Amino acid sequence: MKTQGRPTSPVAANDAMQPKTVSGNKALKQATKLIFETGTPRRTGVDLPEPKGRASRLGDHAREGEIGLPGLSEPETMRHYVRLSQKNYAIDLGVYPLGSCTMKHNPRLNEKVARMPGFADVHPLQPISTVQGALELMHELSHWICTLTGMPAVALTPKAGAHGELCGMMAIRARLDADGQSQRRRVLVPESAHGTNPATAVQCGFTVDEIPASGDGRVNLDALKDKIKSDPDTVAGIMLTNPNTCGLFERDIIEIADLIHAAGGYFYCDGANFNALVGRVRPGDLGVDAMHLNLHKTFSTPHGGGGPGSGPTVLSDALKTHAPVPYVVQTDEGYDLVEHKDEVSFGRMCAFHGQMGMYSRALTYMMSHGSDGLKQATEDAVLNANYIQASLSDVMTPAFGGVCMHEALFDDRFLKDTGVETLDFAKAMIDEGYHPMTMYFPLVVHGAMLIEPTESESKGELDRFILSMRHLAEKAKAGEADMFKQAPVHAPMRRLDETQAARKPVLRWTPPVETAEAAE
């Protein structure tokens, strides 16, 4: 087949350059097999006596064959996972400029507090009187969140950003239904939105109406007005990210909020990028009706690899009566949980009370920074992104002119006619020791490269990163496309076949014997 698009097939590794070892290890970097290939079902790491005198109650349901789990000793298991962790890349190892993901440092103080037994070892069904400290922490966190956002209420329970979006949109739907406005089912979403926005709207039973972007990467106000005017009685609301996914502040946001409110709809703001606003702008002052916060992005709780997220969702006066249960209230006797659904709450977002471990980390971050420190973190994040944009704008091509917010967005014009594509550039960054930036997103920018340095990086670190990026950009322009097509050469694995992985994913390991039988 023709591969005129992005070449993703593995490039033959120039193995002649690298001397092979008998073991497969490279110096003290150990080769690692799958855990199924390391252990065997016939081996066991623990010695348990055969159970005696206990008849099985499983009857016909008892398993007959081997379960096939790999048996490993404790040191083998430890080595397996530690070796894998050494192949991993983390914010604790180096710059992690993955745009839109806010990979900031996770302060160790957060970890210390999160491990306190009163927060770490509580059970959701414990008597209220025994978890007063945990409830106070949740109450205090709610207060900080409401203060920073300028909003009257917060639902703490959503467990991730998209879950928070769902919470906000369910509140909007509950309010519309309560007001006899059930015909309002059209949600306006800018084309540069996070993919979760339209997905959330559809999940909530709304239809999505896409608003095109203007030439400067923001919402096209005229198009928005036309969309509203076409059928104002069906407008349920708008879902808008600010700063948006191009790293730009939606400067017409107040007018947008007014337009939506005048049409009878509600304003959902995606707060994924709130880290660019904390201490400087309060969404409540912009006319926002609902917005989720990513504690795991803005407030430094750890994330990545599907780890625990937390997406508390702030709600305006118009929506707060529909907030989900449970929530914490302060009474004369201390703190209590409102657990039961009254007639206006839309229900609950999860079985219990949300991610306690993220609450304790986020509040620690807020209190240790203080309101002045949070503001400075915001300013430093924006300053760092602008420093990168300014330092690279002569060798790379910023997608939009002017000042950016917390992330710098480049397109691939600077790679035109070099034979190097965004993907190749990203792979070459791995050889330079940097986790690649977010690539090919947002979709509205061709060959997008979205760089978010966060406030965690020092000027020295940024300068080293910039030096590498400049070096790569200059190499690409000097016609060294081959170097890029080969990259990464220093990584544990060379370029992987993403196309084949997506077309024919192998999701289950099968023992070699089984495979041999299948081939017969």
Least distance from C-beta 346 to another protein, angstroms? 29
d(CA 247, CA 403): 9
Least separation in angstroms between residue 160's CB and another protein is 20
Greatest alpha-carbon span in the chain: 79
CB of 62 or CB of 502, closer to another protein? 502
Shortest CB 495 distance to another protein, Å: 12
Crossing angle for the helix pair 356-392 and 459-477, to the nearest 10 degrees? 50
Cβ nearer to another protein, comparing 434 with 441: 441
Residue owning tokens 């339209």: 198
Length of the chain: 520
Tell me how far apart the alpha carbons of residues 300 and 279 are, in angstroms, rounded to a whole number.
15
**Measuring CA to CA, how many Å separate 40 from each of 35, 36, 50, 348, 511?**
9, 7, 20, 44, 10
Q: For residues 125 and 502, which CB has a smaller minimum distance to another protein in the complex? A: 502
Q: Which is nearer to another protein, 235 or 423 (CB)?
A: 423
Minimum CB distance to another protein, residue 414 (Å): 17
Alpha carbon 165 to its chain centroid, in Å, reads: 13
Q: Among residues 84 and 443, whose Cβ is nearest to another protein?
A: 443
Whichever of 406 and 427 has its CB closer to another protein, that residue is: 427
Q: Token digits for 149?
A: 């956002």
SS3 percent helix, strand, coil of the chain, rounded to 5, is: 40, 10, 50
Rounded CA-CA distance 288/270 in Å is 10
Spatial separation of the C-alpha atoms in residues 321 and 175, rounded to whole Å: 9
Using an 8 Å Cβ cutoff, are 151 and 136 in contact? no
Q: Which is nearer to another protein, 38 or 499 (CB)?
A: 499
Task: Select 9 or 21, whichever has its Cβ closest to another protein.
Answer: 9
Closest distance between another protein and the C-beta of residue 412, in Å? 12
Task: Give the sign of the dihedral formed by CA 18, CA 432, CA 82, CA 34.
Answer: negative
CB-nearer residue toward another protein: 478 or 496: 496
Instruction: Tell the burial category of 279 from Cβ atoms under 10 Å away from its Cβ (0-12, 13-18, 19+).
Output: middle
Least Cβ distance, residue 58 to another protein (angstroms): 41
| Residue 159 beta carbon to another protein: minimum distance, rounded to whole angstroms | 25
Q: How far is the CB of 75 from another protein (least distance, A)?
A: 39
CB count within 10 Å of CB 190 equals 26
Cα angle: 244, vertex 239, 155; to 5 degrees: 105
Least separation in angstroms between residue 505's CB and another protein is 9
Give residues in contact with another protein (CB under 8 A): 1-6, 8, 440-441, 443, 498-499, 502-503
**In this complex, which beta carbon is closest to another protein, that of residue 44 or of residue 207?**
207
**121: nearest Cα among 367, 155, 130, 129:** 130
Task: Mark residue 247 as left, alpha or beta (left: phi above 0; alpha: psi -120 to 50; beta: remaining).
Answer: left
Of residues 145 and 188, the one with the C-beta less far from another protein: 188
What does the DSSP assignment read for 439-484?
Answer: ES-STTSTT-EEE---TTS-HHHHHHHHHHHHHHHHHHHTT-HHHH
CB of 1 to another protein, least distance (A): 4
What number of other Cβ atoms are within 10 A of residue 304's Cβ?
15
